[in-house]
Structure 1
Amino acid sequence: MAKKQKSSEEFIHHLYVHMNEVDQFVIFSGLTFKQFVLAFNPMANLLLLKHQYEEGSFNMHTQLDFVSKEDIPNFVKRVSDTDEDLCWIDFADEKGLNKLTPLEQAKLLYLSHKKESIGTPFLEKLSNRFVYHSSSREKAIKIYFKNLDDAEILVTHIFNNMVKEKLGNGGFFRKKEAKSTISMVDPDFLKAYRPYAKEGALLSLSKLEKPKRFEIEIRTLADYDFPDEVWDDLDVILSQSYDDLIKIP
């Protein structure tokens, strides 16, 4: 049980997570595109299905813009400054992109418009690992994961990086040697808490001074269908006891 109720301002960060194991997607709120890219850096090329980015390359076969993996840092910088919706699918190389059939291209356009997939969203020709769709109006990001374990990798990276920043050891697009810094939470450890994510859960990171450590409070939010409602009711949610607690030494 929680010993003391905290207001939302007393936490370092709140992350809403709702996982659908059957369709292999997770809905997040409190996640940024920059955080996502940092967790999976280096990224593959990105085929842009919905965007306002004007500096990308153009693929003649699909008549769609794309971002090469070399240009992703610039893309992240530009996109992070806007509130526009964003949808993309990663791909290995343009050779695979140029082999997409009209039906496969139509399915991608449906995916970007409806935010749901007709059949699998993972195409062998693209060797894609993700499908990413953000909505500023809904305050949500929906991500399809080819390997759902990547969801835990993403969540742990977000919180671990925040802890490192608080300890003076964070940064974006850091060199490989910085990756040797010890992780605070392991993705395999976090998988034990997946049942909460399947119900819809709020993960709240805070720092304690005595004893000096970080904690992640987990609250199930099964009654919430829309992430924006979570932020409207945040203080009410936090006034309730957490369902579980992850202690980070």
Structure 2
Amino acid sequence: MSVNVVYVHLETVSNLILSYGISLQDFAGALQRVPHHLLLLTPVDLDDDVDPHTGFNVISGAPAIAAYFTDPHLTTHKWIDFAHELYLDQVTPNEVAQLLYLGHAYIHLESPFYYKLQNDYVYLDLPDGTVKTYYRHLPQFYAVLNRSLKRHLQEKYPDMRFLFRRRSMIQDIDPVILQQLQPLFIDGALFSFEDIDSRQKEIHIPILSLNSRFKLVNDDWHSADQERVAELIYDHGIKKWRLNVINEAAFANQGLL
């Protein structure tokens, strides 16, 4: 799958993000504090560290976690972070069953945030190429989205490196701008870098509202039930981002605009 889009669907009750185009590297690189302990929800590998109480593989320490995040041989990442190794002994059999179900069915039975684990995240690669991530603190997602959108813009213009000599030259998107898009995320929104438009010193990234769940088939995401409702615009002359709303009704339906 090589289509150049970023898809975001938000479920506000559990702070669940279903996404496409946001990489694990986008996620890890945007966090102010990377987790120090991971409980893997993938099938157990007896050759690696196994927690004797829960039966899951565990990874601890910044170097080991960085290696796990960047291992090119791993195609599937499924994990939940936890704060202290001592607390793993307090996880109940019922909670172990919930974690097994979460890793197997990609659905939380109860809250995905456990008191004993004190986790901030759950990360699940799905078989269809999308990713489910749970954020205890939803504003952290917007930092991840910012990093992903900037990366896609950088990769879209390999022949325009005079504009973006360094990735840091692309300014961060104001979190307020991204948070204004939350009404679209609730129904599902897609940033199309394939239909990007460059006008003088401005780059216009279309934002589409989808009326059904995003599906990618044979590197094709186009469907009839999509509508361009806004544009994310980067002015590389003054190095600032702004949002251009095309269809205010798409925002007003959620009562936030």
Query: TM-score w.r.t. structure 2 length?
Result: 0.75
Q: Given the alignment of the two structures, is residue 148 of structure 1 paired with residue 148 of structure 2, yes or no?
A: no
Structure 2 residue ranges without an equivalent (≥5): 156-160, 236-257
Partner residue in 1 for 2:246: none
Partner residue in 1 for 2:172: 184
Q: CA deviation at 1:164?
A: 6.0
Contact 2:121 2:135 in 1 (8 A): yes
Q: CA deviation at 1:162?
A: 4.4
Partner residue in 2 for 1:159: 149
Partner residue in 1 for 2:208: 219
Partner residue in 1 for 2:188: 200
Q: CA deviation at 1:210?
A: 3.9
Matched residues in 1 for 2:184 and 2:109: separation? 27
Q: CA deviation at 1:142?
A: 0.8
* Change beyond 3 A, Cα 1:54–1:63: closer
* Change beyond 3 A, Cα 1:208–1:222: closer
* Pairing of 1:24-63 with structure 2 (within 5 A): 24-40=15-31, 42-44=33-35, 45-50=37-42, 56-63=48-55
What amino acid is the match of 1:57? D
Partner residue in 1 for 2:129: 139
Q: CA deviation at 1:197?
A: 0.9
* Pairing of 1:93-172 with structure 2 (within 5 A): 93-135=84-126, 137-163=127-153, 167-170=164-167
Matched residues in 1 for 2:80 and 2:13: separation? 20
Contact 1:112 1:133 in 2 (8 A): yes
Query: TM-score w.r.t. structure 1 length?
Result: 0.78
Matched residues in 1 for 2:44 and 2:30: separation? 23
Matched residues in 1 for 2:44 and 2:151: separation? 29
Higher helix content, 1 or 2? 1
Q: Secondary structure at 1:150's aligned position in 2?
A: helix
Matched residues in 1 for 2:172 and 2:184: separation? 20
Contact 1:87 1:134 in 2 (8 A): yes
Percent identity for Structure 1 against Structure 2: 26
Count of residues in Structure 1 that have an aligned counterpart in Structure 2: 224
What amino acid is the match of 1:204? S
Partner residue in 1 for 2:81: 90
* Change beyond 3 A, Cα 1:60–1:189: same
Matched residues in 2 for 1:146 and 1:35: separation? 18
Q: Which moved more, 1:66-75 or 1:157-166?
A: 157-166
* Change beyond 3 A, Cα 1:14–1:213: same
Q: CA deviation at 1:88?
A: 0.7
Which structure has the higher relative contact order (CA within 8 Å, separation 6+)?
1
Matched residues in 1 for 2:152 and 2:191: separation? 13
Contact 1:24 1:144 in 2 (8 A): yes
Q: Secondary structure at 2:95's aligned position in 1?
A: helix
Q: Secondary structure at 1:219's aligned position in 2?
A: strand
Matched residues in 2 for 1:104 and 1:64: separation? 12
Q: Which moved more, 1:100-109 or 1:182-191?
A: 182-191
Q: Which moved more, 1:202-211 or 1:93-102?
A: 202-211
